[in-house]
Amino acid sequence: MSSGYPTCVVKLTRSVRFACNSTAPDPDGFNQFGDNGYAGAPALSSFGRFDELEVSCSGTVDPVLQYLIDIKAVDRAVRHTVIPILSAAFHRANSSAPSDTRGWPGSVMADFMPPLAAALGGLLHQVVWKLTPFMSLSMHTPNPSQPAVALLRQRFEFAASHRLHVPALSIEENRRAFGKCNHESGHGHNYIFEPCIELPVASAAIPLRVGELERIAKEVILDRFDHKYLNVDTPEFREGTGAVPSVENIAQVFFDLLAPAINSTGRGARLRSVTVWESDRTSATFPAD
């Protein structure tokens, strides 16, 4: 029976959580594929690493079953294709020299994407690998005609105050436009910013180490803007000569500052965008995705 909806492409995303343990599985099978997929299966039963993959599939909804794909099929595909590759890389990295590029998550991701795509019958659209709560790698479905790239995202926090005020407008016009955000003394935010960096995965060297990214973020952004009154202490947003420090303009300024530093590392890294959150409900991304 058909719902009557027109045939169109939809995207379904499933989170799959699991652990790579440093020891062999428990004899009783506790950390084998169990029922507690919410908390992760296999479970973390020793020292190891915990991972979460957001697997997105796209295609047309089955006219009979009325869904794109059985979510349990996504779980099985991840656990039977990704986990063996990731677990082997985890143990290999622990026993290899730090320079072993096969231990770089981007290379590991490039290894597991083709078998995962095959297991999902051509429906795979994208995978986001949450390496930590604040850092992720993402990759789209492998395309044999294009070199594989991964997108690295890492979040940083800084505190700053600002005032929304346009000098060309009158006092009353500013108050009507910005309300309490136009208060003369300004107001503060605990901002979050997240660069999105394109990295080639076929490189002989790791394109951009996380420590290098954190050094760039500190020198280019944090040292310049953290614990500052943006309208007074920073030339980019100085009242009367700089841009109004809206979250949209902050995202663009951060992109313009970070791009030369990241793009000049010489190993193919390229800044795609920067997202800035001024609260958990408000963010801006430049350039738009």
CATH of the domain at 254: 3.30.479.10
Rounded to a whole number of angstroms, the CA Rg of the chain reads: 23
Verify that 172 and 270 share a domain, yes or no.
yes
Verify that 188 and 99 share a domain, yes or no.
no
Please identify, among 81, 110, 145, the residue that sits at the C-terminal boundary of a domain.
145
Please identify, among 91, 124, 145, the residue that sits at the C-terminal boundary of a domain.
145
Verify that 109 and 213 share a domain, yes or no.
no
1 within domain boundaries:
no
Of the pLDDT bands very low, low, confident and very high (cuts 50, 70, 90), residue 40 is: confident
Verify that 224 and 128 share a domain, yes or no.
no
180 within domain boundaries:
yes
Verify that 132 and 197 share a domain, yes or no.
no
3 within domain boundaries:
no
113 within domain boundaries:
yes
Instruction: Give pTM, 2 decimals.
Output: 0.88
Verify that 43 and 109 share a domain, yes or no.
yes
Please tell me the total count of domains within the chain.
Answer: 2
Please identify, among 145, 160, 181, the residue that sits at the C-terminal boundary of a domain.
145
Verify that 205 and 114 share a domain, yes or no.
no
* pLDDT tens digits, one per residue of 118-170: 999 999 999 999 999 999 999 998 787 788 899 999 999 999 999 999 999 99
Domain that holds residue 91: 9-145
Pick from 109, 126, 114: nearest CA to 57: 126
43 within domain boundaries:
yes
Verify that 176 and 214 share a domain, yes or no.
yes
* pLDDT tens digits, one per residue of 43-82: 887 788 899 999 999 999 988 888 999 999 999 999 999 9
Verify that 181 and 93 share a domain, yes or no.
no
| Ranges assigned E (strand) in the chain | 9-21, 48-60, 124-132, 135-140, 149-154, 156-162, 187-200, 228-229, 270-279, 282-286
Verify that 140 and 168 share a domain, yes or no.
no
Three-state DSSP state, 251: helix
Verify that 172 and 241 share a domain, yes or no.
yes
* pLDDT tens digits, one per residue of 213-241: 999 999 999 999 999 999 999 999 999 99
Q: Where are the alpha helices (DSSP H) in the chain?
A: 71-77, 83-95, 105-119, 171-178, 210-217, 223-225, 230-233, 247-263
Verify that 174 and 136 share a domain, yes or no.
no
